[in-house]
Chains A and B, each alone.
Chain A
Amino acid sequence: MSASPLTTSRRDLLKAAAGAGALLVFARPQAASATARFVGEIGPFVRIDADGAVTIGCHVGEMGQGVSTALPMLIAEELDVPFERVSIQAMPLHLARNARGQARSHLGAGQSTAGGSNSVRVGFMPLRQAGARARLMILEAAAERWRLPVGELKTEDGVVRHAASGAAATYGELAGEAAKRPEPIGEIVLKTPDRFSVIGKPQRHLDADRIVRGEALFGIDAEMPGMLHAVVARCPYLGGKVATLDEAHALKLAGVVAIVPIPVADAPAPPLAPQSTPLAAGVAVVAMSFWEALQASDALKITWSRGAGAAADESSARAYADTWAKMESTPGDVVRKDGDFANLRSLKTVSARYEAAMVAHACMEPPNAIVSVDPDGKRACAILATQAPDVAAATIATVTGIDPLQIDVTLARMGGGFGRKFDQDMVAEAAIIANAVRRPVKLVWTRDDDLQHDLYRPGACHILDAAVAPGGRILGWRHRLATHSRLAGAAGDLAPRLTEYYPDGFPAGHVPNMEVEYHLLPSAAPRGAWRGPGHVVNAFAIECFLDEIAVASNRDPVELRLDMIGTGGAHSYMYLPQMPRRTFDTARYAAVIRRAAEASGWGEPMPKGRGRGFAAHFTFESYVAEVVEVSVEGGRLRIDRVTAAVDAGLIINPNGARAQIEGSINDGLSAALGQAITVRDGQVEQRNFSDYEMLRMDGAARRIDVSFIESPEPPNGLGEPGVPPLAPALANAIFAATGVRLRRTPMLPDLQAALAAV
């Protein structure tokens, strides 16, 4: 690929448009050289047809988080076109080398990655600039046509007007001339918020019509000509391997084309350099159809060897028991230490322990990947439902040895991501198989594969102690936690604790003496990022504990939090040491706490058997407080209502934002109530939805009210922040309704046992 990345991608969109007989305008990032252009820039996003139809490219994978609506809204705003006229196209990912020689999407280093709820936050300014550049090119085309100064022209709803002469032309009429214009240079002055006509107005999901018609939008639906299908039989033992393989029978079955081993190095969760993606040892069957591949993979005669060391007969029950004991007897890594907790011995102490099981992602679309390697092994292309297309391409390059610039990645819609499709194990497997057969291969994981070989959300043990003054003020806070850690296992990784506890989260800074200690909860099961990583389980422990302190000191849980915060203010907040610090503004935190309390009718009396519970959390720079209202009748739990108050800065698409919070609430219920991944005898026990209990209609929240704080602050993401407050608010509500204090997720088994005992 000798052409500059810009030219390549321009050519591609041109090609796409030429098919439709369209005229084009591009909002191209301008720059002197390919390198300068590469850094931090987002590429061409806009196409306008002669009939005025506007196509806007989306460079981030859609997985239900709504980016394919929210990001184009940012461009449409500055372009000044009515959003109803916009259609969206997933953008091709083309790689180029950056200044450091790494192959990255030219659309902006790392910005095509969907994670950390970052797409809207990171895209807010660059995408508006892209829209503004396109608009300026259209204005300049009009100015030239009419021989008028640009400054006298205005745009409105896709039309350029000159008030004095009455001249007017639609964007479609100007598109051809605008496309030929040189790139505008430098930053363009953007609209002030009072002039927004797209941002802040509720929009429906742009693909809603295609989804309800059942169109083939997802990775698992995609095809390539001549494509084969693969299923992998993976070792059921954590870190185990293939001992013996008898493939003779399977090879004779109808449709079977090849058997390809998936080799891995010795070690639990062996990393696939450089992406640290763990692969399970296995054997792939390649066939003419999925069904044939699945039949043949069942027919393989494989004996598996167990993992080495502790993995050989790992048991969750034993690992948790040992860890509880170790946390009591041995000091852990110090995560935070303010003042001296030990000095507060004379005060009243409140203590509690909380536990969380590992959970799986269980995206409704199971992992899959389509990869094709050319017969000469020099080029590859892929259609992927992935959250991290750059990393996917790098993974294919690592596996096949193909130059990353010779790898084409097309993004398909994801049937859920939640952090699972951030990792590249499915892509690595598909690349290994495609490289062996040198044909296009679609790899599909069965649900059993998915639950048995997920990158699980870490489970955890928490021991909390608080020293409370007679007036109810919390003077000391000691938090000892152990988690599986989503990083432990790969060589050269950061200390495991760094991804497991955010040391500046609440109540840090609001309790004078505070100590946090970390232990590793061992497991050979691979772990990954799960919607709101670290946050969900920590918030469960911390926010339940605050409720317990409130009850023990006869205080209202909302008032207790507000008292701790006082007037509030900006606190420096660390995500990871290598990342810029963020700001945790506890005045904004207090505002969502108050808003949720007001909107939910907090404090109003409730009939017997019903109760409200409160919790709040700061996740990825968004502030969310939730009140859960439950009733427990005849041993049955019902979620009557959940009220959420959210401060995520400026809200781009109020409808999409509300959908994210609603979904997070039901997803949070699902994970808190029924889901658990457990290991016994060195294997994950759960295999399918029959033994992995996910929320269904009957368990979902009957009513959800979401209230957004109106804010002029820059926007933050909302894909994750709605989840963390849910589990603690739920446990606190169940306590209020029944007096049963649940300190473990999943909660349902303990709730049922407690209710049966009364």
Chain B
Amino acid sequence: MTFALRINGQTRRVDAPPDQPLLWVLREQLGLKGPKYGCGIGACGACTVHIDGQAVRACVTPVNAVGQSLVTTIEGLAAKGTLHPVQQAWIEEDVAQCGYCQAGQIMAVASLLAETPSPSDEQIDAQITNLCRCGTYTRIRTAIHRAAKLMKQGAA
């Protein structure tokens, strides 16, 4: 089947079986390698993208469920090349170790902050459930609070 997907501000046409997960369409057909494969069952968050602004796990999202929704991957998060405050905070706190999980973490956090601009630690615990084997969680928490501040400054 042919799909016209609206991704990172462009319309991209792809041929794919309707049940193929969006993750593999992004990675293999569209060359968007930012979303990562980690489990394929929605349990790790490495593949997180935004669909209409909501954080979604692309490995369990069939391509035919996307429709006309707007898909944003980590590659499209930096508006016109300017880093998103979450990306900026990630650099300032030097969060990444191996970095493999971080695109997914950043996408999950960007979506959290869009809805909850100043999350409490309990809200972070409940909402950010992505895995990181390198154990960067403690810096992720600091970076989330920093990103929240950066966003407030940006809005002011």
Contacts and interface: CB of A to CB of B under 8 A. Distances in A.
B138 A666 contact: yes
Interface in A377-432: 413-418
A707 to B, nearest CB: 16
B44 to A, nearest CB: 5
Contact of B131 (A211, A213, A696): A696
Contact of A689 (B41, B77, B90, B140): B41
Contact of A63 (B28, B34, B98, B102): B98
A694 B83 contact: no
A209 B137 contact: no
B139 A662 contact: yes
Interface stretch (A133-141, A600-608, A697-705): A697-705
A291 B28 contact: yes
Given A212-B96, A415-B98, A659-B94, A667 B134 contact: yes
B68 interface: no
Given A209-B91, A690-B41, A291 B135 contact: no
Contact of B137 (A291, A366, A695): A695
Interface in B23-39: 24, 27-29, 32-39
B125 interface: yes
Contact of B98 (A204, A364, A704): A364
A447 B101 contact: no
B149 to A, nearest CB: 17
B69 interface: no
A698 B126 contact: yes
Contacts of A704: 138
Interface string B92-123: 00101111111100100000000000000100
A211 B138 contact: no
Nearest to B108: A697
Interface residues of B, number: 57
Interface stretch (A37-45, A215-223, A271-279, A677-685): A215-223
12 contacts: A64-B97, A208-B90, A211-B90, A211-B103, A212-B90, A214-B34, A290-B24, A413-B99, A665-B138, A689-B44, A694-B133, A696-B131
B101 A364 contact: yes
A666 B73 CA distance: 28
A696 B128 CA distance: 8
Contacts of A697: 124-125, 128-130, 137, 140-141
Q: Which of B34, B98, B128 has the largest count of A CB atoms less than 10 A from its CB?
A: B98
Nearest to B129: A696
B33 to A, nearest CB: 4
Chain B at the A interface: SS class: loop
A575 B141 CA distance: 38
Contacts of A212: 74, 83, 87, 90-91, 96, 102-103, 106
Nearest to B41: A688
Contacts of B39: 447, 688-689
B146 to A, nearest CB: 13
B99 A217 contact: yes
Contacts of B20: 291
Interface residues of A, number: 63
A603 to B, nearest CB: 25
A446 interface: yes
Interface in B8-66: 17, 20-21, 24, 27-29, 32-41, 43-44, 46
Interface string A479-522: 00000000000000000000000000000000000000000000
Contacts of B135: 662-667, 669-670, 695, 700
A362 interface: yes
A83 to B, nearest CB: 14
Given A211-B99, A365-B36, A413-B98, A698 B125 contact: yes
Contact of A216 (B21, B33, B37, B38): B33
B21 to A, nearest CB: 7
A546 interface: no
A208 B138 contact: no
A64 B91 contact: no
A205 interface: yes
Contacts of A65: 97
Contacts of B90: 208, 211-212
A204 B34 CA distance: 21
B65 to A, nearest CB: 16
A88 interface: no
A737 to B, nearest CB: 20
Contacts of B99: 64, 207, 211, 217-218, 413, 415
A315 interface: no
Contacts of A62: 98
Contact of A447 (B40, B73, B141): B40
Contacts of B74: 212-214
A87 interface: no
Interface in A226-259: 229, 254
Given A289-B24, A291-B20, A414-B98, A446 B40 contact: yes
A290 to B, nearest CB: 6
A660 B136 CA distance: 9
A655 interface: yes
B132 interface: yes
B23 to A, nearest CB: 9
A602 to B, nearest CB: 21
Contacts of B87: 212-213
A387 B16 CA distance: 35
B78 interface: yes
Contact of A211 (B28, B32, B96): B96
Interface string A347-382: 000000000000000111110000000000000000
Contacts of A417: 98
Interface string A704-716: 1000000000000
Nearest to B105: A697
Given A214-B73, A666-B135, A666-B138, A696 B43 contact: no
B131 A365 contact: no
Interface in A316-372: 362-366
Given A212-B87, A364-B101, A415 B130 contact: no
Contacts of A211: 90, 96, 99, 102-103
Q: Which of A204, A291, A667, A669 has the largest count of B CB atoms less than 10 A from its CB?
A: A291
A724 interface: no
Nearest to B74: A214
Contacts of A418: 133
A444 interface: yes
Contacts of A220: 36-37
Q: Which of B21, B75, B97 has the largest count of A CB atoms less than 10 A from its CB?
A: B97
Nearest to A208: B91
A370 to B, nearest CB: 13
B28 A696 contact: no
Contacts of A689: 38-39, 41, 43-44, 131
A687 to B, nearest CB: 9
A282 interface: no
B47 to A, nearest CB: 11
A221 B17 CA distance: 22
Contacts of B17: 254, 291
Interface string A66-84: 1000000000000000000
A450 to B, nearest CB: 9
B75 A213 contact: yes
A36 B12 CA distance: 56
Contacts of A664: 135
A692 B153 CA distance: 41
Nearest to A220: B37
A414 B134 CA distance: 12
Contacts of B141: 697, 700, 702
A65 B126 CA distance: 28
B66 to A, nearest CB: 16
A364 B133 contact: yes
B137 A666 contact: yes
A194 to B, nearest CB: 27
Q: Which of A209, A229, A446, A700 has the largest count of B CB atoms less than 10 A from its CB?
A: A700
